[in-house]
């Protein structure tokens, strides 16, 4: 992991050791319930919250919260069903809270799930003023178990992100002025995935750890190769010029950059043939070796 990223306050290697200690695998907990299997997932939006505070813009951060949880559920081959939120703050700001909740409701609409409850906690002394943190909890119903049957020669297909999504912001805040960091909400991939689920072998949500850390989570003992291509020039990549400039500004190696950011790809699928799926902006970015 990049020394630069560690200097920004994030130690991915240490976090991985904790995950190994806990025995956590996959993107969610799969639990049999009667004749069904459900998937439970929880996540937050990290230090993107500090960017929202700096820009005084709170209507998109709730979409991010839902996206981080429901995109994880999709990786297990599950359809998002229900969502709950936890909103903790030092002092309740009604207008800010309404904007955050509006984003959560919009996120649930985009993900195809229901907001079924939540908790709001005022915790002065833990949070200063109206500073806050968010956590989300999602449940989905498995439609087709993933991952499965990954083998040499399978393709890695990227579905573009809407931007940096909700990861890498601790480093972004070191590299760019807060006002220049985009708050574009995380893309939610429910329709893309569910409409093609039968022909997808594995699904990787590109979050903390970037492309290298997340693709490895779903391909078992296989190895993979990312094609050496100028991705930032790919027609489908949103904010292509921004990504290219960020790469230059970061002064990171390509591998380091790809191990922190999604690099324009929010989901990566493992499939056998590109014609097997119908996702307009999907692009082959690598293969299983």
The domain segmentation of the chain, as residue ranges, is 25-142, 155-288
Q: What is the pLDDT of residue 234?
A: 77
This prediction's pTM: 0.93
Give mean pLDDT, residues 118-123: 97
**Residue range 131-180, pLDDT digits in tens:** 999 999 999 999 999 999 999 999 999 999 999 999 999 999 999 999 99
Q: What is the pLDDT of residue 23?
A: 60
**Residue range 234-284, pLDDT digits in tens:** 788 889 999 999 999 999 999 999 999 999 999 999 999 999 999 999 999
As a whole number of Å, the CA-based R_g of the chain is 18
Taking a C-beta distance cutoff of 8 angstroms, is the pair 248, 175 a contact? no
Query: What residue ranges in the chain does DSSP mark as E strands?
Result: 29-33, 36-43, 78-89, 114-122, 132-142, 155-160, 202-205, 224-226, 265-271, 283-288
**Domain 25-142 and domain 155-288 have a common topology:** no
Matching CATH number, 155-288, of 3.90.650.10, 3.30.450.40, 3.30.420.40, 3.40.309.10? 3.90.650.10
**Residue 51's pLDDT band (cuts 50, 70, 90):** very high
Query: What residue ranges in 238-289 does DSSP mark as E strands?
Result: 265-271, 283-288
Starting at the edge strand that comes first in sequence, how are the strands of the sheet with 265-271 ordered? 202-205, 265-271, 155-160, 283-288, 224-226
**Residue range 13-46, pLDDT digits in tens:** 666 666 565 666 789 999 999 999 999 999 999 9
User: How are beta strands 78-89 and 114-122 bridged, if at all?
Assistant: parallel
Q: What is the pLDDT of residue 18?
A: 61
Q: Which CATH architecture has domain 25-142?
A: 2-Layer Sandwich (3.30)
3-state DSSP call for residue 241?
Answer: helix
């Amino acid at each position: 992991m990049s020394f630069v990223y560690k200097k920004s306050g994030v130690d991915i290697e240490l976090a991985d050791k904790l995950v190994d200690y806990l025995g956590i695998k996959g993107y969610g907990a799969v639990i049999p319930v009667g004749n069904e299997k459900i998937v439970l997932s929880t996540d937050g939006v990290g230090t993107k919250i500090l960017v929202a505070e700096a820009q005084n813009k709170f209507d998109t951060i709730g979409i991010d919260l839902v996206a981080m949880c429901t995109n994880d559920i999709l990786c297990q081959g599950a359809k998002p069903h229900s969502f709950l939120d936890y909103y903790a703050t030092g002092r309740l700001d009604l207008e800010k809270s309404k904007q955050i909740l509006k984003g959560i409701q919009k996120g649930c609409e985009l993900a195809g799930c229901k907001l079924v409850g939540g908790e709001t906690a005022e915790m002065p002394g833990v949070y200063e003023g109206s500073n806050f943190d968010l956590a989300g909890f999602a449940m989905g119903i498995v439609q087709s178990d993933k991952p499965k049957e990954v083998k040499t020669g399978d393709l890695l297909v990227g579905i573009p992100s809407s931007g940096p999504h909700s990861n890498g912001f601790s480093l972004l805040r070191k590299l760019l002025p807060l006002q220049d960091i985009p708050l574009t909400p995380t893309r939610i991939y429910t329709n893309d995935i569910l409409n093609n689920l039968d022909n997808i072998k594995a699904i990787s949500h590109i979050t903390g750890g970037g492309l290298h850390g997340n693709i490895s989570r779903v391909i078992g003992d296989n190895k993979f190769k990312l094609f050496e291509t100028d991705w930032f020039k790919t027609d489908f990549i949103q904010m292509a010029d921004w990504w290219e400039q960020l790469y230059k500004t970061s002064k990171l190696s390509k591998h380091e950059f790809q191990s922190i950011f999604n690099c324009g790809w929010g989901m990566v699928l493992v499939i056998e043939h590109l014609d097997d799926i119908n996702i307009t902006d999907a692009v082959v970015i690598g293969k299983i070796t």
